[in-house]
């Protein structure tokens, strides 16, 4: 997306609090985020310098004083730079049309700023050397014509019939403004006014006008208004005059290039003294004139516009003696602007190469030929222009122009983190670049590239549309669609085009992977729409209604926003749909929906202009910036992004990743800025297991009563069990015991909305059911546990570790599941006997299953199977005291019970497993990853629980049938549920429910060989069994689930966090 009409500073959001998880019944309340904050805190961003061209940046010298000089910058501002220190002060916004000589200052350190916050006739004179400011309240009809010392030259009225006159304005010292008329010119009884303003200094302003086919120059005294008038001069260019008029004024001379192609040099002391002339060639007429001592300075025209050169465009600065003589070269390359300083010198910009471009003072001391002295201000090289950008699924594509030898498409891989990184630019070729640059090169209405989320980008061409993947590009001819106003959105194989013959009249969907990619598979009579997950979403005919069309089956249904207004804007990302009718309805009429219909509406601020995975982008036109708002919490935070330069018509491209958590933009110097909108990852710290809650004995809660049905227990985590204040999340083993009926438990951060996704399920009374949970902590360091059962139960919570948002902890590396222990097959232990009751098994972890020596902790799925009676298991680091907190519980003989555990490793790389049952059992341990105390692994980011798969409701899978036995389900994780593209692994709570018989489930990264280690086991029909899993993601962000049962079951998967 290239929001070229959006002013700009983009903002990044903080760690997402837990909110709106979509499991079970719909939430009963909706979140209403606040409007963007005025002064949110900034997050760092990665800045990658633009590719340099051999040309310098475009800056213009405007005036030179005794202490410094005024100039424009490529940031579209006026700036004042001191000669001695090089310190630069921004004076105000720059209008490219305001560069007339003397307009903002001439021959002194005083500049003028017309303050946009004040009435249009309030002008501020700023002495940049002293810092003093003088405010002038000017006549209503006055227009600025120049600044000469402490006087402002102004034109009152705009026409002669209205009494036009030229005046000097000054502060009168009494809070008012004195008006000093400038005398008109007069010759042979003919009187004339002044039309041209040519420069000057604090003593006199040079004025000009054409009279009876001749040109006159007048010097107006800034203190008296009297004018000294020159003899007639050749008129400027026009008619039979072939050279463009130029003027230079210093303390001794006035130089005037007339239409006769001669420079007429007048003595400033006596305008009627004989003039001196220096002829110039029409073919080599100068672009600028200046004076230094008794030398005329000129900057010539380049012989050709050589942007391919390894040196700057050829403009030579020459000096010619005023009294006549051959010109000498002063500087081989210079910009076409010369300004006069009050000490008789001149300033130019120039150098030998584009990398050596500086402001230089031209001086001719002692009658010698002029030479240049570099000032303390360097003009940086120009960069290739960023015509447009697209960030999609952490792949950045840029279209760059400026030099045909290097113009084209470039690709970079983006890694979001702390810090974020970008790979080196890689050329993707020029196929379709000319078509793209025609619409994008310097244009506000650039037809942007759109990312599909699967590594491809699309953009329009003259004949149709280019589909690009890396260096491969193919063109789809779209002659059958003669009206192609732009690409609205791309999503996988589907591209939505605006095919309006008239504004807002039609859309068409193309399937770029079909045999007929040029033939629309769906159309709509509107220009408002989006695509998400294979669905076309457009406004319905009824106010507040959205039509959802399945692009595979072509079946349609409707969503209701709950607002009685016409939808005027739709966007989608991360499984959420943003709708807005604020342009037709009342302010604030905007919200979010799930396109699959599994959520109630969420109200959000209206008029968003962009959408990423979990955030909305808002333009604040008055503040000339943009904000990013986490649409769960409404909390904005800023970065330094400026997508549009304030008070300027210059626009910079930017793009939001619809499939990830990043955004990128280019600044006025063509530098790339990458902002990580997703939360910075956290690192893991292990602790000795400690019990934070046990309602049976009053630990963590007053009293020993069971937790009533439909009630919540608040548990203090930070500050207990070696979990410090400031921890962001905790790893807990939560157990429901002595249950009085079936139910489930929900865990979430204190202070956040309660999600609906369950962390723990039990199906009958009298059972003990544990599960590992990773829960964000609230600002007070607490979590909430909600007993969603209608009946009572006791609850236990043991802490095993915590996460902090710094680099002091361990990072995670996922591995392909590997079996480290199976007592049935003598894996990891001699013999095949069951583990006796009250005995310990030592398991070597480091050095096996791709876990390196030196690993600090391991993620294991531990299973008790073929149990001979009830019991529990305790896991801990070898060489450490045995804790009392259990990791796994089973309540009967003949069951198979798994649980995920995160266990510190002993110095020898081993863990201990204690069978706390009085009876025997077999034990299994599969490793899924490990933690190390360096930055080689991934950091963890907890997210608000979000449902990615529920086969009962067709979430994440077509249809509502159970998953057949011995079959596989593919689940898209990245790009949904606030999980960004590029995530390496995900933390999921996976549940088998409505089982038709015993079985197990295996989870692994799509595209990898299916492992044999199970993540979830159930032993009978009609049960609901959850387990936490940590599973790697493939490059496309997908996981696979294999139903290892011979019978069907429904599957649910809720995401709780991810690793990057």
Q: Across residues 763-770, what is the average pLDDT?
A: 91
Q: Across residues 398-404, what is the average pLDDT?
A: 78
Q: Which residues pair with 191 in a beta bridge?
A: 186
Q: 668 — phi, psi (to 5°)?
A: -65, -20
Q: Across residues 319-325, what is the average pLDDT?
A: 91
pLDDT single digits (tens) 943-977: 878 889 999 999 899 899 999 999 999 999 988 87
pLDDT single digits (tens) 415-428: 877 678 899 989 88
Q: Are 731 and 747 in contact (CB under 8 A)?
A: no
Q: Across residues 267-278, what is the average pLDDT?
A: 93
340 pLDDT more than 90: yes
Distance CA 817, CA 859 (A): 10
Q: According to the model, what pLDDT value does residue 158 have?
A: 58
The SS3 assignment for 434 reads: helix
Distance from CA of residue 1030 to its chain's centroid? 29
Q: Across residues 879-902, what is the average pLDDT?
A: 92
Distance CA 533, CA 512 (A): 15
pLDDT single digits (tens) 474-504: 999 999 898 888 899 999 999 999 998 877 6
Which of 36-45, 168-177, 554-563, 586-595 has the least mean pLDDT? 36-45
CA angle 99/102/103 to nearest 5° reads: 55
Q: Across residues 136-164, what is the average pLDDT?
A: 77
pLDDT band at 679 (very low <50, low <70, confident <90, very high): low
pLDDT band at 680 (very low <50, low <70, confident <90, very high): low
pLDDT band at 879 (very low <50, low <70, confident <90, very high): very high
Q: According to the model, what pLDDT value does residue 308 have?
A: 43
353 pLDDT more than 80: no
pLDDT single digits (tens) 223-232: 999 999 998 8
696 pLDDT more than 90: yes
β 1016-1018/999-1005 pair status: antiparallel
Which of 627-636, 749-758, 817-826 has the least mean pLDDT? 627-636
404 pLDDT more than 50: yes
Cα separation values, 775 from 534, 632, 940, Å:
32, 17, 12
Which of 616-625, 786-795, 970-979 has the least mean pLDDT? 616-625
Q: Across residues 251-264, what is the average pLDDT?
A: 90
43 pLDDT more than 70: no
Task: Label residues 531-544 b or e (16+ Cβ within 10 Å = b).
Answer: bbbbbbbbbbeeeb
pLDDT band at 678 (very low <50, low <70, confident <90, very high): low
pLDDT band at 379 (very low <50, low <70, confident <90, very high): confident
**Which is higher by pLDDT, 236 or 310?**
236
Percentage of the chain with pLDDT > 90?
48
- Total Cβ atoms within 10 A of residue 103: 19
Which of 30-39, 84-93, 1022-1031 has the least mean pLDDT? 30-39
- Domains of the chain in sequence order: 238-382 (2.130.10.120), 384-676 (2.130.10), 687-804 (2.60.120), 810-934 (2.60.120), 941-1060 (2.60.120)
User: Closest by alpha carbon to 31, among 39, 21, 41?
Assistant: 21
641 pLDDT more than 60: no
Distance from CA of residue 209 to its chain's centroid? 53
pLDDT band at 979 (very low <50, low <70, confident <90, very high): confident
Q: Are 669 and 52 in contact (CB under 8 A)?
A: no
Q: Across residues 450-471, what is the average pLDDT?
A: 89
Q: According to the model, what pLDDT value does residue 36 have?
A: 37
Q: Across residues 660-664, what is the average pLDDT?
A: 83
- Total Cβ atoms within 10 A of residue 450: 26
User: Closest by alpha carbon to 946, among 25, 22, 27?
Assistant: 22
pLDDT band at 276 (very low <50, low <70, confident <90, very high): very high
Sheet holding 346-350, edge to edge: 339-340, 346-350, 357-363, 371-379
Q: What is the mean pLDDT of the chain?
A: 83
Distance CA 221, CA 235 (A): 24
- Residue 932 tokens read as 């190390």
Peptide bond into 419 cis (omega under 30): yes
Percentage of the chain with pLDDT > 70?
85
Q: According to the model, what pLDDT value does residue 704 have?
A: 97
Q: According to the model, what pLDDT value does residue 95 have?
A: 54
**Which is higher by pLDDT, 563 or 793?**
793
Q: Are 389 and 377 in contact (CB under 8 A)?
A: no
Q: Are 264 and 258 in contact (CB under 8 A)?
A: yes
Q: Across residues 167-179, what is the average pLDDT?
A: 88
The SS3 assignment for 713 reads: strand
- Residue 395 class from Cβ within 10 Å (0-12 exposed, 13-18 middle, 19+ buried)? buried
Q: According to the model, what pLDDT value does residue 586 have?
A: 61
Distance CA 55, CA 313 (A): 7
pLDDT band at 367 (very low <50, low <70, confident <90, very high): confident
3-state secondary structure 975-988: CCCCCCCCCCEEEE
To the question of pTM greater than 0.75 for the whole model, the response is no
Q: Across residues 366-390, what is the average pLDDT?
A: 87
Q: How far apart are the first and last CA of the chain?
A: 25
Sheet holding 45-48, edge to edge: 45-48, 672-676, 662-666, 654-656
Which of 57-61, 400-404, 1002-1006 has the least mean pLDDT? 400-404
pLDDT band at 300 (very low <50, low <70, confident <90, very high): confident
pLDDT single digits (tens) 107-120: 788 888 755 445 55
Distance CA 617, CA 602 (A): 16
Q: According to the model, what pLDDT value does residue 626 have?
A: 65
């Amino acid at each position: 997306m290239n929001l070229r009409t959006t002013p700009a500073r983009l903002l990044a959001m903080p760690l997402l609090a837990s909110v709106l998880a979509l499991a079970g019944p719909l939430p009963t309340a909706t979140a209403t985020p606040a409007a963007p904050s005025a002064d949110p805190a900034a997050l760092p961003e990665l800045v990658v310098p633009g590719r340099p061209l051999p040309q310098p940046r475009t800056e213009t010298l405007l005036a030179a004083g005794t202490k410094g000089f005024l100039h424009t910058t490529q940031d579209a501002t006026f700036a004042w730079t001191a000669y001695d220190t090089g310190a630069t002060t921004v004076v105000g916004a720059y209008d490219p049309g305001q560069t007339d000589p003397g307009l903002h200052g001439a021959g002194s350190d005083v500049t003028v700023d017309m303050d946009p916050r004040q009435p249009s006739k309030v002008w501020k004179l700023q002495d940049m050397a002293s810092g003093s400011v003088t405010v002038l309240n000017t006549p209503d009809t006055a227009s600025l014509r120049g600044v000469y010392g402490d006087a402002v030259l102004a034109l009152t009225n705009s026409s002669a019939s209205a009494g036009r006159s030229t005046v000097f304005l000054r502060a009168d010292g009494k809070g008012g403004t004195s008006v000093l008329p400038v005398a008109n010119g007069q010759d042979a009884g003919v009187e004339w006014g002044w039309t041209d303003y040519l420069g000057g200094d604090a003593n006199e302003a040079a004025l000009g006008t054409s009279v009876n086919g001749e040109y006159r120059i007048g010097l107006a005294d800034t203190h008296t208004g009297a004018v000294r008038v020159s003899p007639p001069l050749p008129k400027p260019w026009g008619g039979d005059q072939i050279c463009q008029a130029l003027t230079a004024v210093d303390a001794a001379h006035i130089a005037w290039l007339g239409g006769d192609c001669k420079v007429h040099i007048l003595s400033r002391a006596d305008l009627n003294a004989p003039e001196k002339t220096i002829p110039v060639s029409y073919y080599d007429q100068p672009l600028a004139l200046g004076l230094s001592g008794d030398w005329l300075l000129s900057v010539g025209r380049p012989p050709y516009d050589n942007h391919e050169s390894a040196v700057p465009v050829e403009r030579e600065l020459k000096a010619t003696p005023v009294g006549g003589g051959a010109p000498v070269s002063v500087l081989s390359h210079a910009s076409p602007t010369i300004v006069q300083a009050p000490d008789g010198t001149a300033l130019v910009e120039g150098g030998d190469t584009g990398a050596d471009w500086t402001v230089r003072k031209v001086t001719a001391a002692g009658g010698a030929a002029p030479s240049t002295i570099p000032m303390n201000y360097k003009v940086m090289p120009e960069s290739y222009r960023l015509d447009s950008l697209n960030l999609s699924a952490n792949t950045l594509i840029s279209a760059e122009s400026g030099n045909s030898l290097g113009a084209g498409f470039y690709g970079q891989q983006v890694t979001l983190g702390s810090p974020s990184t970008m790979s080196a630019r890689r050329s993707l070729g020029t196929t379709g670049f000319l078509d793209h640059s025609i619409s994008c090169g310097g244009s506000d209405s650039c037809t942007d590239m759109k990312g599909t989320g699967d590594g491809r980008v699309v953009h329009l061409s003259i004949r149709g549309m280019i589909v690009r993947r890396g260096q491969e590009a193919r063109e789809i001819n779209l002659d059958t669609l003669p009206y192609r106003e732009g690409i609205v959105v791309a999503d996988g194989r589907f591209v939505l085009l605006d095919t309006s013959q008239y504004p807002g009249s039609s859309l068409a969907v193309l399937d770029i992977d079909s045999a007929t990619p040029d033939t629309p598979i769906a159309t709509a009579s509107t220009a408002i729409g989006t695509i998400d997950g294979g669905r076309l979403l457009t406004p319905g005919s009824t106010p507040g209604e959205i039509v959802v069309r399945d692009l595979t089956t072509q079946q349609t249904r409707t969503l209701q926003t709950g607002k009685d207004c016409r939808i005027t804007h739709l966007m989608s990302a991360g499984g959420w749909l943003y709708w807005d009718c604020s342009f037709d309805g009342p302010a604030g009429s905007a919200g979010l929906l799930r396109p699959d219909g599994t959520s109630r509406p969420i109200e959000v601020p209206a008029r968003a202009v962009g959408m990423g995975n979990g955030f909305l982008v808002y333009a604040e036109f008055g503040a000339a910036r943009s904000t990013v708002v986490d649409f769960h919490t409404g909390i904005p935070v800023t970065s330094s992004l400026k997508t549009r330069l304030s008070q300027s018509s210059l626009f910079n491209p930017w793009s939001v990743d619809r499939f990830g958590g990043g955004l990128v933009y280019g600044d006025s110097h063509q530098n790339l800025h990458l902002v990580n909108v997703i939360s910075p990852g956290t690192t893991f710290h292990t602790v000795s297991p400690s019990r934070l809650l046990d309602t049976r004995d009053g630990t963590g809660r007053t009293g020993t009563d069971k937790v009533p049905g439909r009630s919540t227990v608040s548990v203090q985590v930070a500050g207990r069990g070696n979990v410090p204040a400031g921890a962001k999340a905790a790893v807990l083993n939560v157990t429901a015991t002595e249950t009085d009926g079936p139910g489930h438990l929900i865990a979430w951060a204190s202070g956040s909305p309660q999600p609906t996704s369950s962390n723990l399920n039990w199906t009958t009374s009298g059972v003990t059911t544990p599960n590992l949970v990773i829960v964000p902590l609230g600002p007070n360091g607490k979590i909430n546990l909600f007993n969603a059962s209608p009946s009572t139960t006791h609850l236990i919570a043991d802490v095993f570790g915590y996460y902090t948002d710094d680099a002091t902890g361990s990072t995670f590396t996922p591995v392909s599941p590997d079996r480290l222990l199976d007592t049935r097959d003598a894996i990891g232990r001699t013999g095949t006997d069951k583990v006796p009751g009250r005995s310990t098994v030592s398991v070597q972890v480091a050095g096996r299953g791709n876990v390196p020596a030196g690993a600090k902790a391991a993620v294991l799925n531990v299973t008790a199977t073929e149990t001979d009676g009830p019991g529990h298991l305790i896991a801990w680091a070898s060489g450490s005291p045995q804790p009392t907190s259990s990791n796994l519980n089973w309540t009967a003989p003949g069951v198979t019970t798994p649980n995920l555990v995160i266990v510190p490793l002993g110095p020898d790389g081993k863990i201990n497993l204690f069978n706390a049952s009085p009876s025997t059992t077999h034990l299994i341990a599969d490793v899924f990853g490990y933690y190390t105390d360096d930055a080689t692994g991934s950091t963890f980011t907890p997210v608000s629980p979000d449902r990615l798969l529920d086969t009962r409701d067709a979430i994440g899978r077509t249809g509502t049938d159970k998953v057949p036995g011995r079959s596989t389900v593919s689940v898209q994780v990245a790009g949904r549920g606030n999980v960004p593209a590029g995530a390496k692994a995900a933390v999921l709570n996976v549940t088998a429910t409505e089982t038709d018989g015993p079985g197990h489930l295996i989870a692994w990264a799509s595209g990898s060989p299916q492992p044999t280690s199970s993540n979830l086991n159930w032993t009978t029909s009609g049960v609901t069994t959850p387990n936490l899993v940590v599973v790697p993601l493939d490059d496309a962000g997908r996981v696979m689930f294999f139903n290892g049962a011979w019978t069907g079951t429904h599957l649910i998967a809720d995401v709780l966090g991810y690793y990057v």
